[in-house]
């Protein structure tokens, strides 16, 4: 998973969510407990009022029911229900909360000796205090959330600072440079273990680079020596007057192949360095390379009914290594010649690029994404040609497109525009 937010902000955000959740949970619990306690207090107060009235009524039946600006008492005896709201006549004994004339009341109902006593308590003050309490709780939650965010940001900075320092030092590392040791700059904790892992990786990477450099030097020497022998022998044969014309043509092909192999070896060694210097000794004429590649691969079409159509509309010159361009063009043309049994191969060159189309076996749709992978081949080849072509195209910023239909043919388009 990819994160676009820094580790410090993610930690502080988690701390903020935790603080908000805890404060909100406490606020909800406190509000419910407060409302329940308030309800119980009202019930106890009304019970006390009813009990006090019953005691006074038992001593003096003429005692008037208690009344105030927020409380009113009804004494219902027999059919005497004048002035009593109808809803109070059907409520069961106990504490109720109801609305009368647009106002909310608590109603305590007691039945004794055939009489119904109803005490109404206007809860306007209670609801006002509840709203004030709600505003207080909401404000408290917001303040606690902001405090959690500030505290989380500060703590995250302290906690994440070693990780940030390690990231900054890792960013300054150069592959193969084992002089800088990260582990000694950190404590022996999780960050220190991670720094030690980076140090170990640097050492393994340096050993790998040294092995690759040694291998490259050995390969360069071991390949160039036999190629020089082949070229020298071919030159001697070329000067032999006893050779027939067809033999002389074969020797010439051997010489050209040896020279191309030497150039290719040097180009591949340069490509292995994975860096572009931006300078070449001279420009590479694409038309010349294309014609040489076609001539050197025509032998593949022997005993095949295949027509080669070459359309050179322009002759661009590129500031690239000719050997690398020859590898790209050679792979495209060799594949077209190899997989076309009959029909034609059309090759077009213009200012923007090269198009190589054939009427060969084609490529299935599900294989189009795999043909550029190393060692992938379903035709018995080595499977490294197109993967190498892709690396060279990425090196120079070229665009390579392929369109194919199974059983109809394939068309490769190489664009020199980055």
Find the CATH number of the domain harbouring 56.
Answer: 3.30.450
Domain shared by 19 and 136, yes or no: yes
Longest dimension (CA), the chain: 154
pLDDT of residue 287: 93
Q: Are 356 and 332 in contact (CB under 8 A)?
A: yes
Tokens of 84: 């009593």
Full DSSP string of 219-268: HHHHHHHHHHHHHHHHHHHHT-TT--HHHHHHHHHHHHHHHHHHHHHHHH
Domain shared by 22 and 126, yes or no: yes
Element (H, E) at 193: helix 190-238
Domain shared by 299 and 268, yes or no: no
Residue finishing a domain among 275, 303, 329: 275
Q: Which residues make Cβ contacts (< 8 Å) with residue 403, sequence separation at least 6?
A: 410, 411, 413
Q: Is the pLDDT of residue 25 over 80?
A: yes
Q: How confident is the model at residue 249 (pLDDT cuts 50, 70, 90)?
A: confident
Q: Which residues make Cβ contacts (< 8 Å) with residue 178, sequence separation at least 6?
A: 199, 202, 203, 206
Domain shared by 229 and 308, yes or no: no
Least confident of 6-20, 151-165, 218-232: 218-232
Element (H, E) at 327: helix 322-338
pLDDT of residue 386: 83
Q: Are 276 and 313 in contact (CB under 8 A)?
A: no
Is position 325 within any domain?
Answer: yes
Is position 70 within any domain?
Answer: yes
Is position 155 within any domain?
Answer: no
The C-alpha atoms of residue 94 and residue 108 are separated, in whole angstroms, by 6
Q: Are 390 and 372 in contact (CB under 8 A)?
A: yes
Number of neighbours of residue 355 by Cβ within 10 angstroms = 18
Q: What is the CATH number of the domain that holds 218?
A: 1.10.287
pLDDT of residue 402: 92
Domain shared by 354 and 267, yes or no: no
Domain shared by 290 and 270, yes or no: no
**Residue 311 β-bridge partners:** 348
Q: Is the pLDDT of residue 382 over 60?
A: no
Domain shared by 253 and 288, yes or no: no
Q: Give CA separation, 134 vs 89, 97, 216, 268, in Å.
A: 34, 20, 77, 76
* Mean pLDDT computed over 270-284: 60
Domain shared by 291 and 396, yes or no: yes
The C-alpha atoms of residue 404 and residue 411 are separated, in whole angstroms, by 6
**Residue 285 β-bridge partners:** 317
Domain shared by 251 and 321, yes or no: no
pLDDT of residue 23: 93
pLDDT of residue 279: 47
Domain shared by 11 and 142, yes or no: yes
Class of residue 117 by CB neighbours under 10 A (exposed 0-12, middle 13-18, buried 19+): buried
Q: How confident is the model at residue 379 (pLDDT cuts 50, 70, 90)?
A: low
The C-alpha atoms of residue 390 and residue 383 are separated, in whole angstroms, by 12
Is position 220 within any domain?
Answer: yes
The C-alpha atoms of residue 226 and residue 153 are separated, in whole angstroms, by 67
The C-alpha atoms of residue 163 and residue 157 are separated, in whole angstroms, by 10
Domain count, the chain: 3
pLDDT of residue 349: 94
Domain shared by 120 and 238, yes or no: no
**Residue 414 β-bridge partners:** 354, 400
pLDDT of residue 409: 92
Q: How confident is the model at residue 225 (pLDDT cuts 50, 70, 90)?
A: confident
Q: How confident is the model at residue 273 (pLDDT cuts 50, 70, 90)?
A: low
Q: How confident is the model at residue 324 (pLDDT cuts 50, 70, 90)?
A: confident
Is position 183 within any domain?
Answer: yes
Q: How confident is the model at residue 384 (pLDDT cuts 50, 70, 90)?
A: low
Is position 160 within any domain?
Answer: no
Helix, coil or strand: residue 147: helix
Least confident of 5-9, 18-22, 97-101, 332-336: 5-9
Q: Is the pLDDT of residue 3 over 70?
A: no
Q: What is the CATH number of the domain that holds 298?
A: 3.30.565.10
Helix, coil or strand: residue 75: strand
Is position 151 within any domain?
Answer: no
Residue finishing a domain among 227, 259, 275: 275
In the chain, % of residues over pLDDT 70: 90
Q: How far is CA 242 from the centre of its chain?
A: 69
Residue finishing a domain among 216, 241, 275: 275
Q: How confident is the model at residue 259 (pLDDT cuts 50, 70, 90)?
A: confident
Full DSSP string of 345-401: EEEEE-SSEEEEEE-SS---GGGTTTTTSTT--SSSS-S-HHHHHHHHHHHHT-EEE
Domain shared by 74 and 94, yes or no: yes
Is position 152 within any domain?
Answer: no
The C-alpha atoms of residue 321 and residue 275 are separated, in whole angstroms, by 13
The C-alpha atoms of residue 163 and residue 189 are separated, in whole angstroms, by 11
The range of the structural domain enclosing residue 341 comes to 278-415
Digit-coded pLDDT (tens) for 207-219:
877 787 777 777 7
């Amino acid at each position: 998973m990819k994160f676009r937010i820094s580790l410090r902000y993610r930690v502080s955000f988690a701390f903020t969510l935790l603080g908000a959740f805890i404060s909100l949970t406490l606020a909800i619990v406190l509000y419910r407990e407060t409302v329940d306690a308030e309800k119980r207090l009202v019930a106890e107060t009304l019970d006390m009022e009813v009990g006090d009235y019953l005691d006074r009524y038992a001593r003096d039946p003429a005692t008037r029911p208690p009344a105030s600006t927020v409380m009113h008492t009804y004494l219902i005896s027999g059919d005497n229900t004048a002035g009593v709201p109808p809803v109070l006549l059907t409520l069961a004994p106990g504490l109720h909360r109801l609305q009368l004339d647009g106002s909310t009341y608590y109603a305590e109902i007691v039945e004794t000796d055939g009489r119904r006593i109803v005490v109404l308590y206007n809860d306007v003050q209670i609801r006002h205090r509840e709203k004030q309490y709600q505003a207080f709780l909401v404000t408290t939650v917001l303040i606690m959330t902001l405090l959690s965010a500030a505290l989380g940001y500060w703590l995250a900075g302290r906690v994440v600072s070693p990780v940030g320092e390690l990231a900054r030092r890792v960013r300054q590392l150069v592959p193969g440079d084992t002089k800088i040791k990260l582990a000694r700059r950190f404590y022996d904790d999780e960050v220190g273990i991670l720094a030690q892992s980076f140090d170990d990786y640097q050492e393994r990477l340096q050993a790998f680079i040294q092995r690759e450099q040694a291998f490259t030097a050995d390969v360069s020497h071991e390949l160039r020596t036999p190629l020089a022998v082949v070229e020298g022998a071919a030159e001697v044969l070329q000067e032999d007057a006893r050779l027939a014309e067809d033999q002389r043509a074969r020797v010439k092909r051997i010489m050209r192949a040896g020279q191309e192999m030497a150039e290719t070896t040097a180009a591949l060694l340069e490509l292995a360095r994975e860096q572009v210097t931006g300078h070449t000794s001279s420009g590479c004429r694409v038309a010349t390379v294309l014609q040489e590649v076609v001539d050197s691969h025509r032998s593949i079409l022997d005993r095949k009914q295949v027509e080669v159509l070459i359309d050179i509309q322009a002759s661009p010159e590129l500031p690239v290594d000719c050997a690398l361009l020859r590898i790209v063009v050679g792979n495209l043309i060799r594949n077209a010649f190899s997989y076309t049994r009959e029909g034609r191969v059309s090759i077009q060159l213009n200012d923007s690029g090269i198009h190589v189309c054939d009427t060969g076996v084609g490529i299935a749709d599900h294989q189009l994404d795999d043909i550029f992978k190393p060692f992938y081949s379903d035709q018995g080849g080595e499977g490294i040609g197109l993967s190498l072509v892709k690396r060279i195209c990425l090196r120079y910023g070229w665009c390579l497109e392929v369109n194919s239909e199974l059983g109809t043919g394939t068309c490769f388009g190489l664009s020199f525009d980055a």
